């Protein structure tokens, strides 16, 4: 589990790269590189307020090491209202 101050979703990852998606820590945030198709699915999930999982790793290996989960929560207890 990684805590981050911000998340950047970059939809420019080419399918020819051999990766499903890539995630990396950038300063105090997280950058997730995804394909254009995954970006479209992510946008739709955000519009519909549905949870979404991005699987990171190489396409050819069955050994997946990372997931980026976007989860909606019901209780927004102490959020920054400013």
Strand 19-26: give its sheet, edge to edge.
Answer: 7-10, 29-34, 19-26, 52-58, 66-70
Predicted pLDDT at 45:
96
Give pLDDT tens digits along the chain (82 positions): 667 789 999 999 998 998 999 999 888 899 999 999 999 999 999 999 999 999 998 888 777 678 999 998 887 666 555 5
pTM tops 0.75, yes or no: yes
Distance in angstroms (rounded) separating the CA atoms of residues 57 and 42: 18
Question: What domains lie within the chain, and their CATH numbers?
Answer: 6-70 (3.30.1360.220)
Beta-carbon contacts of 26 under 8 Å, excluding residues fewer than 6 positions away, are: 8
**How far lies 59's CA from each of 40, 56, 63, 81, in Å?**
19, 9, 9, 41
Predicted pLDDT at 27:
86
**Helix, coil or strand: residue 32:** strand
């Amino acid at each position: 589990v990684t805590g981050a101050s911000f998340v950047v979703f970059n939809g420019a990852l080419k399918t020819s790269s051999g990766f499903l998606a890539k995630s990396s820590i950038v300063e105090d945030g997280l950058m997730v590189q995804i394909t254009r198709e995954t970006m479209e699915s992510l946008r739709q999930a955000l519009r519909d307020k549905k949870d979404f999982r991005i699987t990171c790793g190489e396409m050819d290996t069955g050994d997946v090491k990372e997931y980026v989960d976007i989860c909606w929560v019901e209780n927004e207890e102490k959020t920054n209202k400013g």
